[in-house]
């Protein structure tokens, strides 16, 4: 008995769902937008529900798997888990530690303000003690030994003051007291530092920044051993903090040119920092590659391929009004709260990255109202310098 032709309604639903007869291998990965997969075999479907294949994108998805494989390889890690943002990745690391009441967590006192607010919230909820420390201080490892924390979160290069902690010393202290060391290595990217090789248990990236490199996708990653990543994957499955397929595809597209881009970003940042250090309009220039930087010696040992793509400086005699006038006078660089783009991005630190810190926390960290952070782009470095100095002069003009 011949089968009745399908209704046009049914054809519209099912036609064009499979490519037949092609053995072509696309050079660029496909974008797998479907959230659901199906199988001819019920046994294969059953296995897929345990993660053996792609059946539902909250469990696993093709584009996120490709990105995770790429990031893990760059980080020198066994495994990687991706998230919808860098903040989601940081939260996942905190929650995966199963911290109990009165456990201690150490984090940078001079790091990213939103991370501090997140950890204050999570710590209060779990009744965990949060201890902000200047982790670039040579005495920081000794303080870790005294505190005996369960979790230490460090930044490879702090945001926005560009301090560089000795991750090797921190890792040794953490191992002595049984603490987990998680490192937010966003600023140098895997091009500039492989935190796991220095003793970290987790390497965290806001892949929105340098890994993506084009300001067109939010993403975060956590890399480490398969054992360390297992609880994070379980929590992600239940919590649904998954990265979308298009964002994963965009991020991996950016990752493919990471080393070419970062080499230029690093070189431009070094040039910009040296030139800015000559200006009488600036009170101080922060850049780990300058001999004047307090962590210059450590930076030479824990950073690879240079000293990073970020520069910060303090405008002499300026406050917030002068800082805002500076931003408005920029012609080449763009005032924006993020970083990692091919375009130079500039922000007033106290009102952006440190916005959610209290005035007392900013003062303790050394973040003043005249501090400017620069994510150095791929423009001609002299054009960047001239733009920054002209804007500084405009900002302080009375």
Q: Catalytic residues, which ones? A: 58, 112, 184, 209
Of 244, 223, 254, 202, nearest to 85 (Cα)?
244
* Phi, psi angles (nearest 5°) of residue 232: -65, -40
Rounded Cα distance between 388 and 396, Å, is 12
> CA-CA distance, 203 to 391, in Å (whole number)?
36
Q: Rounded to a whole number, what is the largest CA-CA distance in the chain?
A: 92
> How far apart, in whole angstroms, are the C-alpha atoms of residue 287 and residue 267?
12
Find the radius of gyration of the CA atoms of the chain.
23
Helix (H) or strand (E) holding 94: helix 86-96
Assigned token pair, 107: 């984090």
d(CA 26, CA 361): 51
Local structure of 343: helix, strand or coil: coil
């Amino acid at each position: 008995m011949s089968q009745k032709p399908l209704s046009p309604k049914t054809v519209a639903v099912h036609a064009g769902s499979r490519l037949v007869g092609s053995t072509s291998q696309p050079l660029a990965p496909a974008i797998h937008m479907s959230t659901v997969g199906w199988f001819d075999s019920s046994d294969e479907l059953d296995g897929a529900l345990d993660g053996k294949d792609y059946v539902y994108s909250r469990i696993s998805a093709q584009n996120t798997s490709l990105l995770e494989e790429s990031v893990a390889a760059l980080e020198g890690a066994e495994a990687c888990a991706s998230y919808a943002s860098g903040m989601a990745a940081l939260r996942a690391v905190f929650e995966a530690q199963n911290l109990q009441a009165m456990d201690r967590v150490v984090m940078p006192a001079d790091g990213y303000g939103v991370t501090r607010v997140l950890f204050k919230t999570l710590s209060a909820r779990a009744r965990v003690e949060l201890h902000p420390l200047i982790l670039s201080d040579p005495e920081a490892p000794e303080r870790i030994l005294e505190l005996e924390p369960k979790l230490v979160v460090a930044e490879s290069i702090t945001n926005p003051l560009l301090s560089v902690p000795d991750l090797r010393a921190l890792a040794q202290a953490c191992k002595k007291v049984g603490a987990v060391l998680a490192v937010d290595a966003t600023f140098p990217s895997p091009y500039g530092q492989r935190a796991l090789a220095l003793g970290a248990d987790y390497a965290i990236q806001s892949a929105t920044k340098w890994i993506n490199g084009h300001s067109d996708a939010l993403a975060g990653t956590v890399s480490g051993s398969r054992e360390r990543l297992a609880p994070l994957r379980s929590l992600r499955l239940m919590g649904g903090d998954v990265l979308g397929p298009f964002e994963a595809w965009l991020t991996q597209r950016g990752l493919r040119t990471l080393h070419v881009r970062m080499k230029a970003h690093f070189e431009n940042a070094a040039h910009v920092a040296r030139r800015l250090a000559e200006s009488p309009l600036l009170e101080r220039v922060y850049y780990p590659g300058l001999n004047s930087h307090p962590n210059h010696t450590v930076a030479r040992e824990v950073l690879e391929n240079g000293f990073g793509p970020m520069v910060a400086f303090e405008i002499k005699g300026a406050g917030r009004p002068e800082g805002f006038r500076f931003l408005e006078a920029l012609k080449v660089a763009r005032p924006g709260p993020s970083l990692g783009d091919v375009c130079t991005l500039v922000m007033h630190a106290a009102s952006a990255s440190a916005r959610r810190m209290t005035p007392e926390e900013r003062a303790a960290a050394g973040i003043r109202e005249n501090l400017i952070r620069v994510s150095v782009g791929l423009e001609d470095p002299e054009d960047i310098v001239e733009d920054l100095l002209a804007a500084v002069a405009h900002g302080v003009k009375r």
